[in-house]
Structure 1
Amino acid sequence: MTELQQIIHQALVRHRGIRRRRGWLAAFAGFAAVMVLTALLDRMWMFSGGLRWIGWIAGLVAGAFAARLAIGAACPDGTAIAHQIEKEAGETASVVATAIDPAVRLTAGNGAIGGVMLERLDRLANDAVRAAPPTFRGRLRVPRSFAAAALAAIVTLVSIQGPKGLLRMLIPWMASPYTSLQLEGPKEAIAEGRPFTLIAQVSGVPVKVVTLYRQDSPLAIAEAAPGPDGVVRLAMNGLDGSAEFVVRAGDGQSAPLRVTPYPLPGVASFEIDVIPPEYAAHAKETKREPSFSVLRGSRLDYKVRLKAPAVSLVLERSAPPPKEERVSRTEQAGMKRGMYGEPIGVEDPASDQPGIPVFQPDPADPLVWHTDWNLSREADEIVYRLVIKGQQGDLVRNEEPWRINVVADTPPVVRILSHDGGEVIRLGNETVQFNVSAVDDVRLSGARLVFRKPGQPHARQEIKLPAEAGRSWSGAELLALAPMNVKPLDIIAVHAEAEDSNALEGAGIGRSEVVYLEVPLPESEDDGGGEGGGGSGPPPVNPLELQMEILKATVVMPDNAPASDRETVAYDQRKNAEYTGMMARAAAGMFLQDLADVLEKARISMAAAASLLDKKAAVQAVPDEEAALANLIEAAKMLEDLKESMQSAAAMEGGMTFTLSKPKPKSSSAKGEEDPGEKESLSKLLEEVQRQLAEQQKLNQTKGEPAELSNQQQALAQDARSAARQAESIKPSASGRGDPKAAGEELERAAGLEDDNAEALARGEAEASKSLGEQSEQALAKALREIAAQLGSGISESETYPPGYERLVDDYLRSISYE
């Protein structure tokens, strides 16, 4: 290689180096310009990581483009540099390019003339190189200027807003937010479901609102504004389990914070075995809910499974809501086991206080707590909560109280459906057949007929019940009256009793209405007698008839009847005592002292009975009422013997007239006539049964708390029994197509079905409850048909019906589907 070639080669190397430096300076200037610009924008809008990546890529593209412009399209070779030297030296010939051309030198060097020419060529080329040596001054001036300007911009940016903005753009993959957030959890352990507070610390660029999120959800949970110190407190309602949280504000986000609460020992499930009393003969039943109904005397094996271990579990009792004031439960229980005011045993009030069962943990499973709870002495309703103390000292208590409806074993309902006493006694046959039915809510244990002449001791004839009687029985029983030595004008009072198998409080006794068997005079003596004081005046008052009705109402009245019911009977009893006193004074004025003494005894017994009705259970007044009735019967016999002396019930005090004669049958004279009072009673009964049917239909379609539905069904059963007694007391009319007694039987059947339905509802037996409810509805509908048919026969006699009565009958006849 010649010297000239070496000079050109060195110039070529220097040119290439300058070209590279131009490219780097241009690339730096382009990239830096984009970074400064995006950093300024980022400071205003706080770009996300994606936008920062876009800015970073744009900077690279700008740098590459600037470098490409600075470097040029192609790199020059040795010939180009030779031509540049020749141009600068003013040579018109290509002496330098020819001198460095290897092919020329190779060709010219083969001869002597060629060698001389090469030497001269080299001399000319060297002169040109010395005249214009290859230099590249100024080629780096522009790139350096741009690079310096970019560097100055960077320095200015950093001095104004700090290095964070530039670093965010230079390193987009690094998290370098303007706003820094730190999230701290509560210092102490927190319980599940309990509120707590998270604290966030804000630093860097200020923000207006800090928002809290769950790590796995895009939904905001809470937000708050930071205080002057940059601290934000975020309240949480509670957690059911472990969770991770983050806070976000501006372009900042905190690191995830995991909060793990400890579990509270709440109730996970119930397993309550209800073991009925032995006398009920019912199978054990398991309850899965804390509110239910049970029979009094049952025992509960109460098990609770908790969600977490606990230190203690306590049952907390609350007072049940007040109920209508009635005879006290102690008095009621004592009286229902007694016989007409003669109690057998008295309950100890102190032993009737409700007990608090004590829960103990199961050694095999610390999450299970159990207790034995005997409900033999509990109130009608137990309102309670469970208070659980956790291992961290937390107390867990259910907000809404639970209720256990303790259903008392009520006495049986017994009825005398019919008897043939009237016809049998007229024919001289002294054996009467009674058709009796009895229903109990648990199990019947016995039934009997109780008969006596008023004022004499009660005689009892036990009815042999079949082994499969269970909760209900109906049948016939023959009663021989011969041992009672009945005579004309005697009255035999008969009622039926049934008792249940209540071994806890003693057998509960239910009583039917009193039926009177009246022994008539021989037909020859009976004709022409009767109610004196004929004529156009008002009919005479008959204290004997009144006393019989008062005794009926008293015997059938429940032991826990409200005071208002007893007050009504007491008022009637006092009024009858007043009438009897008037008769006694009249008899004394006629010098019939024996008659006056008997009537006065009756009056005294009536007054005593009224006083007992004011204060105590109605059944305690029965002995005095029967004593008064016995004296009135004796007075009636005496009056029969004194027909000549008192053949006319003369005007007495206040212009009133009285008689003790046995009432005449109405079939001979009043056949076909209808009593307006009977029509009014039928009308009211019709409305009452329609109400019961509507409520039963509504109850059959209602879904709700089983205990509440059971209580409503029991109330309807009581209403149905009351309506049944009312229906049986109504005499059928000759023109009516219906039968009030048949309606009464259907109402009584409906009451029994409703009792069964109430028990099924309390046990949660949906299918059985549905069937019993439908059967009750059908029984009520049949009773309505009988009553409506009885009323419908006299619709044409509109003047004898109460206002609106015809419309009621038409509506009912249209609404009932006759099968």
Structure 2
Amino acid sequence: PFAAGATNRFELRLPLLAESIEYGLRLTGRHGDIALDPEPHRILVLPDEPPTIRILSHTGDEFELRKPVQFQLRGTDDVGIDSLKLLYRKIGETPEEQPVEFAELEAHEFTAGATLDLSGLDLKPYDIVAVHAEARDGNVLSGPGIGESEVILIEVPPPPGDDGSQGGGGGGGGGNEERVNPLEMQKHILTDTSRLPHDPPAKDRIPIRAEQLEALGYVEQLREQADTVTTDFVAIQFSLELRMAASAMKLSARHLQPYDRKQALTAQELAIAALTRAAVLIPEDQQMPGQSEDAGQDGQPKITLKESSSSSSSESENSEERMKELLAQIEQLIAEQEALNEELAAAEEGSETASDPSAEAQAQLGQRSSQVAQTAAGLPIPTGAQGGAEALSGLLEEAGNLLGQASGEIEKQALGQALQLGTEGEGTLTDAAELLRAALGQADRILSEANELPAGYAPLIEHYLRAISYEE
């Protein structure tokens, strides 16, 4: 009851089980008279979004052993964060963490500074350390919500006196060479993947997966060259490290579709670790496995990867025509699967104008994708073209399997599952088309040249794949 002269405030607890709750007010007087509030009131229930966190700046680009690294962080959360920390690890090893202090009053939008001491990692020249920030909120119902920053790489410089100035940066082989560095590519792939949201759209994820397949192709080709040297211990070790890198790259590509952020980043770090170990295996005065006879005349190691050339221009033109025909077939499959996915989506939503999706049509698309995969396996696509014919055939076969499974789900009237499989199949076909466009030189995405290397990192590249090139 309300009392005269009192504040007449009260507290009402409601179960927040829906996105919105409507309530009204009704007052009953002592004599039975009733007063109603004519306007309904509404409570909107908003989900607790996970925090966001970014690394604004760091001093890792000028890293020196036994000197800490300074970080500046910025983050936001719709309610408030509970904890903030830096996670760091030598590439390929178990992460360690360091808590970061932040002001409670600034929890909704905050900046924080941190000093990270890496002396406990027993770092040596050429080691690479991966660091990212993590913020957690206080969501006790469905959380905690976790926000992660991009991964930054801190590279330990070479020993004093080894500044990478011994030679002229690779040279040789003519003026039309395209230098390729799988290690640098893999670092870019790791950074790009770490910047993706936890549920990225296909248009953001597919280019990274295609670049991963491209880097894998280069490593496989280099490994094949190293395998030809069976009497040299360094060459054998070099080949083993490249095998480990290739295996990790395949895992990375697999976890980029369907997307699994943690597994993809872990595989990418393992690939970088193996490539780095391969790098330091090569002494300055030793010819690298597979390098050409004229390599090293400038005092630097060199590997030359040569594209396989056709015996005649007519054979080359015929191969290109076959690849174009195959691309047209894949694009037709994509268009038909996209239309079928739209039918599945409409049918699942119960649209009155929706037509019944055809399990037979879906099965035929799967069979055609598998047939195209057999055609792709026989194409003369260089291994360096994002994995070559084997990678292209594998994507098409994977798409065929997904579409075949979708057909079975349509027959069982499991339209939601059929739509998911059909969408994954369409994405895999799109990957295959992009790979083939790259092989034809028609790719929309052009791999940008690597940025300038941090101070002190040049010797690693000088020792490893610094002058890999394609020669006409």
The two structures have a TM-score, normalised by structure 1, of 0.31
Counterpart-to-counterpart distance in 1, 2:260 and 2:91: 20
Query: Which one scores higher on RCO, CA 8 angstroms, separation ≥ 6?
Result: 2
**Cα deviations by residue, 1:119-147 (Å, 9 ceiling, x for unpaired):** xxxxxxxxxxxxxxxxxxxxxxxxxxxxx
SS of 1:487's equivalent in the other structure is coil
Describe the shift of the 1:452–1:442 C-alpha distance in structure 2 as closer, same or farther (beyond 3 A).
same
SS of 1:468's equivalent in the other structure is helix
**Cα deviations by residue, 1:143-188 (Å, 9 ceiling, x for unpaired):** xxxxxxxxxxxxxxxxxxxxxxxxxxxxxxxxxxxxxxxxxxxxxx
**Where does residue 649 of structure 1 map in the other structure?**
302
Counterpart-to-counterpart distance in 1, 2:82 and 2:18: 19
Describe the shift of the 1:471–1:630 C-alpha distance in structure 2 as closer, same or farther (beyond 3 A).
same
Query: Over alpha carbons, which structure has the higher Rg?
Result: 1
**Where does residue 186 of structure 2 map in the other structure?**
547
Counterpart-to-counterpart distance in 2, 1:530 and 1:518: 22
Is it true that 1:497 corresponds to 2:134 in the alignment? yes
Describe the shift of the 1:276–1:645 C-alpha distance in structure 2 as closer, same or farther (beyond 3 A).
farther
How far did 1:444 drift?
1.4
Pick from 209, 219, 222 the counterpart of residue 570 of structure 1.
209
How far did 1:480 drift?
0.5
Matches within 5 A, 1:345-494: 407-425=46-64, 428-494=65-131
Is it true that 1:623 corresponds to 2:238 in the alignment? no
SS of 2:62's equivalent in the other structure is helix
**Cα deviations by residue, 1:349-368 (Å, 9 ceiling, x for unpaired):** xxxxxxxxxxxxxx995968
Counterpart-to-counterpart distance in 2, 1:617 and 1:584: 28
Structural RMSD (CA)? 3.7
The one-letter amino acid of 2:22's match is Y
Describe the shift of the 1:531–1:431 C-alpha distance in structure 2 as closer, same or farther (beyond 3 A).
farther
Structure 2 gaps of 5+ residues are 1-10, 27-31, 289-299, 309-381, 385-449, 453-472
The structure that is strand-richer by fraction is: 1
Matches within 5 A, 1:41-60: none
Is it true that 1:634 corresponds to 2:268 in the alignment? no
Q: Tell me which stretches of 4 or more aligned residues in structure 1 moved more than 4 Å.
A: 273-277, 296-301, 363-373, 529-532
Counterpart-to-counterpart distance in 2, 1:581 and 1:462: 41
The one-letter amino acid of 1:486's match is L
**Where does residue 420 of structure 2 map in the other structure?**
none
SS of 1:526's equivalent in the other structure is coil
Q: Contact (CA 8 Å) 1:566, 1:618: kept in 2 or not?
A: no
Q: Contact (CA 8 Å) 1:511, 1:556: kept in 2 or not?
A: no
**Cα deviations by residue, 1:266-317 (Å, 9 ceiling, x for unpaired):** xxxxxxx99899xxxxxxxxxxxxxxxxxx98886632479xxxxxxxxxxx
The one-letter amino acid of 1:587's match is A
**Where does residue 297 of structure 2 map in the other structure?**
none
Matches within 5 A, 1:217-616: 302-304=22-24, 407-425=46-64, 428-528=65-165, 533-535=170-172, 536-591=175-230, 592-616=235-259
Q: Contact (CA 8 Å) 2:255, 2:261: kept in 1 or not?
A: yes
Counterpart-to-counterpart distance in 2, 1:510 and 1:568: 24
Q: Contact (CA 8 Å) 1:419, 1:434: kept in 2 or not?
A: yes
The two structures have a TM-score, normalised by structure 2, of 0.53
Counterpart-to-counterpart distance in 2, 1:434 and 1:537: 42
Q: Contact (CA 8 Å) 1:275, 1:300: kept in 2 or not?
A: no
Counterpart-to-counterpart distance in 2, 1:555 and 1:531: 34
Counterpart-to-counterpart distance in 1, 2:96 and 2:168: 32
How far did 1:541 drift?
0.9
Percent of matched pairs sharing the same residue: 31
Number of equivalences = 282
How far did 1:408 drift?
3.2
The one-letter amino acid of 1:582's match is Q
Matches within 5 A, 1:2-41: none
Counterpart-to-counterpart distance in 2, 1:500 and 1:414: 12
How far did 1:467 drift?
2.6
